Structure 1
Amino acid sequence: MKIFISNCRKLSLHQLALIGLIILLPLSGCKKMLESDIYSQLAPENFFQTEGDANVALITLYNPFTSNWGNADPGAGNWYGALYNADIKSYFIRSLMTTDELQTDWDANLTNFTFGPSTWVDANDPTYPKIRYVAKATDVINNIEKSTLDAGIKRKYIAEAKVLRAWLMYVLYDFYGPVNAKTDPATLADNTITPRPDATTYSAQIEADLTAALPDLADKYNSDATNWGRVSKGVARMLLLKLYMHNKEWNKAEATAKEIMTMNYSLEDNYADIFKKKAGKELIYAVPTNDASPNYWIQEVLPGDFKQAGSIQRAPGWGGYYMPWSFYNKYETNDTRKTTIIDHYTKSDGTEANKSNGLRGAIPLKYTSIQGDGPGYAIDVVVFRYAEVLLAIAEAINEQRGPGEAYQYVNQVRARAGVPNFTGLTQAGMRTALLDERGRELYGEGVRRQDLVRNGSLITNALARGKTNARPYQVLFPIPSAVIIEGKGIIKQNDGYPQ
C-alpha cells in the first residue's frame, strides 16, 4: 500500500482522517448515547468503487487513535478528546492517574477514587463514546464487503478495519468491561436496547477480528514513512497479547509474544533513543503527530516555573502531572532510564528546584529530543513497543511455570537499563519484580493501571497511598449514568456503583 488516497499523497494520516470524517458524517445527529447511525449514507453501488473510496472510509476510523485534543463525535454532535492525547480526560492519561506512577491536582475525583457514574458527563468522559466508532467500523467493513472492489483490495481494507474495531473494543473492555458494541451490520439501523454481553463472548469477538485480520495485514511499516501509523500484523498481535494478558490466558499470551519475537523488532541500544527515533526498530506502534496534531506530553509535565534542566531549555509548561518520589525511588541508582526523568531543574528566577526544597515529584519527561518552546511537538506518541513484549512473555511464563525461563526475557530489558540481572526469585518474587520492572520501563506509556489490575493490586496500592475511598469494584470505571438511564434497566451498571 504505497498511498492512502491517490490524489492526496502529501496529506498526513490525521488530515486524511478529517477529510474522511466530513465525508462520512451522518446526515442527521442523534443525541442519545445508545443509538447508532448508518455512517456511510452513500450506497455501496455509487461510493465504494475505487481503492481510494474505501481508504477514505477507513481513515475515519483512525480519529480516536490520535493525539488530537478532540473531534466531533459522529451522531452525537459533541466534541470528544482522542484516546492518546495528553489531556487529563483521555484514556491514555486516566490509565496512569489512578496509579502510583503519576499524580495530578487537576482531577481530585480521579486520583482520590471518588468518581461515580455521574462524575464525568459529555465531553468530560471521552472514552465511552468511542463505542460509536465500533458501529462505524462495522458499517465500513460491511460496505467494503458489499462493494465491487477487487477481492484482494477488499481483504486488505477489511483487515485493517477489523483491527481498529478490535482495538476500540479492547479499550472499552479495559475501562468498563464488556459493553454492547455493535459488530453485526444488521443491527446498525436498529436502536433496540440490548444487554451487555458476558466477558467471554465479548473477548471472543475481539480475538476473532484480530485473528481474521492477520493474513491480510502488512507485517510492519517501520521502514515505510508514507504508511507509518497504519495498523499492521505487529499491532494485531500486540492487541492479542494485551487481551490475553488482561484475561490471564497465559499460554496464549506466551505463544503470541513468541510470534511477535519472530518479526525482527529489537531493543534500541539506548533507552532514550526509543522516544527520539521515528518508527525505530523497537516500536510496534506510535501515534503519528505533526504541527496540527502534536504531542503535548512535555507541556503537561514541565512545571510552570521551568527554565532549564541539563541541556533542555524552554519556556515553562503547565505543570499538570508529576511522578511521586516514592515511584521514582523504585529506580536503582545507575538505571539509565532515569536520564529521561528530571529530578531537579533551574527555575525561571534562577534558583534550583529539587526534592529537598519542595519539588513535589520528579518530572517524567520521557521525550528528551525537544527543541523550541512548544507547547506541542511533532514527536510520535509511543503506544506499543518490543520491550513490553519481552516483559509480557516473562510474566506469562512465570505464571505458568515459575521464573526459570522468564529470566532470559526480563534481563534483556534490565541489561539495556544498565542494572543487574534478576536471579534467585520465587514465583511470587518474580511476579512482584516484574510489576516493578514494567513500571520503570513503561512509565508514561499508559499501561500502569492495566498492570496493577492484572496483578490484583490496583486498590491495595491506592489504599497504601492513602486513597481511603478506593473500593475493590473500582478496578472498572462506571458505565456513564446517561447510558444506564437510557438503558431502562436492560443495561446494567458495573458492580458496586449506584445502578
Structure 2
Amino acid sequence: MKNLYTILLIAGVISVVSCKKSFLDLTDPTKKTADKFYHNEQELQQAVSGGYSSLQDHVNSQYIFAEMSSDNSTIQLNPSDRGQTDRVEAFEFWNVTATNVNIADMYNQSYNALYNINYALSKIDGVPAVAEAKKNQYKGELEFMRAYYYFNLVRYFGGVVVITEPLATSSDAFKTTRSEESAVYAQIVRDLKDAAAKLPAKSEYGAADAGRASKGTALGLLGKVYLTMKNYPEAETSLRQVLPLGYALLGDYTSVFDPNHKNSIESLFEVQYQGGNNLGEWSNFIYVFAPRDSEGAVTGFPTSRPQGWNIPTNSIMNEFEPGDQRKDVSFKPGYTNSAGTFVPIPFVNKYNHPHTIVGRTDDNWPVLRYSDILLMLAEAINEQGGPGGAYQYINQVRARAGLSALSGLSQESFRTAIRHERRMELAFENDRWFDLKRSLTNAQLLTLLNAHGQQEKLHPTVDRSGVQFSPSDYQFDGYEALFPIPDRQIFLDKNLTQNPGY
C-alpha cells in the first residue's frame, strides 16, 4: 500500500494543473509533457494512479450532496458567519441554484478527472514492453473510475455530457450536448462489464497494490447500477458473481472503519488516504464533521477548529433499533468540553480515530462494502417476487449488528426493511440520497422529505442560536431531485440545457 500512496503523490502532480480548470474552459497545459510521458510501464502506472488521486478530491465533498440533501444530516450553523448559506446550507434546505459554487466545483472536478482518464486510456496500447494482461488491468481500473464518475453524475444531474475520447481541441468542449439518461447508463454498463472482464480478483493483487479496483469492485458497482436502473434480474446476476470472490463481513462493525483494517475482506473499494506524514495524502473528515467549538474534545488536538457540517439528524439517530451495535460507531450524541460539561451536539463518529498530526487523519473513505452487496442482492430478489430468498442476505447484516433475524414480511414491508437496514448500515457513507431516489417515487420522496423538514423546523437537531428559518427552507418541490447544471457551463456551451425548475 505504501507504494500505491507514493504513486498517487507522483501521479497527482501530472493531473493537478488541468484538474483546477473549468471543464468548458478546458485546455491541456500538460499535453506537451503528457505526449512525452507514457514511455514505459512505470509511467503508465503513475498515470493510472493519478485517477485514484483525483478520487480523493471527489469524495472529500460528496457528503454535501449525498448526505446533507437527505434526511440524514444537518448543520451546526455559525450565527456570526453565514457565508456558507448559499453553498452548503442550500443542500440541506433544498435551496440549491445554478450558481452554487459546490455544484460547479463537483461538476468541473468530475469532468477534468474524466478528461485525464480518457487521455490515459488512449495511450495504453501504445506503451511498449508491457504485458497484455497488465495493460488490461490498467484499462479496467480506468474504466471502473470512468463508470463511477458517470454514475454519480447521472444520479445527480440526469442526462449529462458523455465523452469517452480525448478532446482534440479546447473548442470541442463548447460543442457538447447532454445525452439521455439511458445513453449515460449504457456507457456505464459497457465500462463496468469490460472492467470486470479485464480486472484481476482482489486476491490476485500484492500488498503494494492494495486499494486498487478489482473484478469484485466492477461487478459490485455494476449491480448497483442495474439496481438503480430497476433491472433487477441483471442486478441479481451481477451481485451473485461477487459472492464467490472471497469477500466476507468483518466480525464487528467497529473494525470496518478502523484504519488498522483498511482494504479488509469486507472492502470492495475504498478511496485511499494516509495520515501521519507530509506526503499530502491525508484525510480530515472528522475535522469537517466534529461540532464547532469542540476543539480537541473530539479530534484530540486542542488547536483544531472543526466545522460542524454533516451533523446527524434526530431522524436518523432515532431510527436505530435498541441494541443495534452500529449506533455508537456511526455517531456520538455529543462531547464533553474542557470544562467537563457535556455538550449535546451530535457528530459523525465513523471517521474518528487517533492520529499523530493535527488535521491529518488516516481514515479511508468506503465506497463499496460487502454488506452493501448483500443488501442490494436482497433488494433485487425481493423486487422480482417477494422476500422468500432474500432473508439470508439481509439477516447476515443484521446478525453482525446484534439484531434479530427478519421473517414473514410482505414484499412492501421488506422494501421498508431494506431502506431501514441500508440507512443504518451505510449511515454517512454517501448512500442515503441515492437510496431514497432509487427506492421511492418522486411523490413519495416529496412526502418524506417535507415531513422531515417540518420536524426539523419544529424541533431542530441543533440549536440555531436565535436564527430563524426562512420560508423557503425545507421546502422540497420535487424537481430538486436533480441538481442544476452549473450556470457557467450553460453560458459557455449554448448546446447545454438546464434541468426543469432552475
Q: 1:325 aligns with which of 306, 314, 329?
A: 314
- Per the alignment, residue 102 of structure 1 pairs with 73
Matches within 5 A, 1:40-439: 40-41=31-32, 47-66=37-56, 82-85=57-60, 90-104=61-75, 105=77, 106=84, 107-120=88-101, 125-150=105-130, 151-185=132-166, 190-191=172-173, 193-220=175-202, 224-276=206-258, 277-291=261-275, 292-306=280-294, 315=302, 317-340=306-329, 341-353=331-343, 359-360=344-345, 362-367=346-351, 369-371=353-355, 374-439=358-423
**Residue identity in the other structure for 1:482:** R
Instruction: Work out whether residues 40 and 127 of structure 2, in 8 Å CA contact, stay in contact via their aligned partners in 1.
Output: no
- Per the alignment, residue 457 of structure 2 pairs with none
Instruction: Work out whether residues 5 and 281 of structure 2, in 8 Å CA contact, stay in contact via their aligned partners in 1.
Output: no
Q: 2:447 aligns with which of 450, 460, 480?
A: 460
Report the alpha carbon displacement of residue 187 of structure 1 after superposing the two structures with TM. Answer: 5.7
Aligned residues between the structures: 459
Q: Deviations over 1:420-477 (max 9, x none)?
A: 1122211111111111110111011110100011122443222112254212111111
In structure 2, what is the Cα distance between the partners aligned to 1:483 and 1:305? 38
Q: Deviations over 1:161-214 (max 9, x none)?
A: 222211211121121122113113476663451321111211111111121122
**Residue identity in the other structure for 2:59:** Y
Report the alpha carbon displacement of residue 493 of structure 1 after superposing the two structures with TM. Answer: 1.1
Report the alpha carbon displacement of residue 332 of structure 1 after superposing the two structures with TM. Answer: 1.2
TM-score normalised by L of structure 2: 0.84
Report the alpha carbon displacement of residue 386 of structure 1 after superposing the two structures with TM. Answer: 0.4
- Per the alignment, residue 486 of structure 2 pairs with 480
SS where residue 433 of structure 1 aligns? helix
Instruction: Work out whether residues 355 and 362 of structure 2, in 8 Å CA contact, stay in contact via their aligned partners in 1.
Output: no
Q: Deviations over 1:339-391 (max 9, x none)?
A: 212124322211123xxxxx25x322013542457433112222211000011
SS where residue 149 of structure 2 aligns? helix
**Residue identity in the other structure for 1:158:** K
Give the 3 Å change call, closer, same or farther, for CA 371–162 of structure 1 in structure 2. Answer: closer
Which structure exhibits the higher relative contact order, with contacts defined as CA atoms closer than 8 Å and separated by 6 or more residues?
2
RMSD: 2.9
Instruction: Work out whether residues 139 and 188 of structure 1, in 8 Å CA contact, stay in contact via their aligned partners in 2.
Output: no
SS where residue 241 of structure 2 aligns? helix
Q: 2:11 aligns with which of 8, 17, 28?
A: 17
In structure 1, what is the Cα distance between the partners aligned to 2:370 and 2:311? 26
SS where residue 64 of structure 1 aligns? helix
In structure 2, what is the Cα distance between the partners aligned to 1:281 and 1:188? 44
In structure 2, what is the Cα distance between the partners aligned to 1:372 and 1:271? 24
In structure 1, what is the Cα distance between the partners aligned to 2:129 and 2:205? 28
Give the 3 Å change call, closer, same or farther, for CA 390–293 of structure 1 in structure 2. Answer: same
In structure 2, what is the Cα distance between the partners aligned to 1:493 and 1:332? 42
**Residue identity in the other structure for 2:155:** D
SS where residue 84 of structure 1 aligns? helix
Instruction: Work out whether residues 449 and 458 of structure 1, in 8 Å CA contact, stay in contact via their aligned partners in 2.
Output: no
**Residue identity in the other structure for 1:446:** N
In structure 1, what is the Cα distance between the partners aligned to 2:411 and 2:478? 25
Report the alpha carbon displacement of residue 137 of structure 1 after superposing the two structures with TM. Answer: 1.5
Report the alpha carbon displacement of residue 37 of structure 1 after superposing the two structures with TM. Answer: 4.2
Give the 3 Å change call, closer, same or farther, for CA 384–192 of structure 1 in structure 2. Answer: same
Give the 3 Å change call, closer, same or farther, for CA 10–211 of structure 1 in structure 2. Answer: closer
Instruction: Work out whether residues 57 and 140 of structure 1, in 8 Å CA contact, stay in contact via their aligned partners in 2.
Output: yes
In structure 2, what is the Cα distance between the partners aligned to 1:250 and 1:479? 30
In structure 1, what is the Cα distance between the partners aligned to 2:147 and 2:63? 17
SS where residue 126 of structure 1 aligns? helix
SS where residue 382 of structure 1 aligns? strand
Q: 1:471 aligns with which of 464, 470, 477?
A: 477
Instruction: Work out whether residues 162 and 210 of structure 1, in 8 Å CA contact, stay in contact via their aligned partners in 2.
Output: yes
Instruction: Work out whether residues 143 and 195 of structure 2, in 8 Å CA contact, stay in contact via their aligned partners in 1.
Output: yes
In structure 2, what is the Cα distance between the partners aligned to 1:233 and 1:304? 42
In structure 2, what is the Cα distance between the partners aligned to 1:476 and 1:91? 15
Unmatched 5+ stretches in structure 1: 67-81, 354-358
In structure 2, what is the Cα distance between the partners aligned to 1:98 and 1:429? 25
TM-score normalised by L of structure 1: 0.84
Report the alpha carbon displacement of residue 158 of structure 1 after superposing the two structures with TM. Answer: 1.9
In structure 2, what is the Cα distance between the partners aligned to 1:479 and 1:20? 28
Greater shift in the superposed pair: 124-133 or 438-447 = 124-133
Unmatched 5+ stretches in structure 2: 78-83, 454-472
**Residue identity in the other structure for 1:304:** R
Determine what percentage of the aligned residue pairs are the same residue: 29
In structure 2, what is the Cα distance between the partners aligned to 1:176 and 1:39? 29
In structure 1, what is the Cα distance between the partners aligned to 2:363 and 2:66? 21
In structure 2, what is the Cα distance between the partners aligned to 1:39 and 1:199? 32
Is 1:496 equivalent to 2:501 in the alignment?
yes
Report the alpha carbon displacement of residue 216 of structure 1 after superposing the two structures with TM. Answer: 2.3
Instruction: Work out whether residues 11 and 50 of structure 2, in 8 Å CA contact, stay in contact via their aligned partners in 1.
Output: yes
SS where residue 202 of structure 2 aligns? coil
**Residue identity in the other structure for 1:418:** G
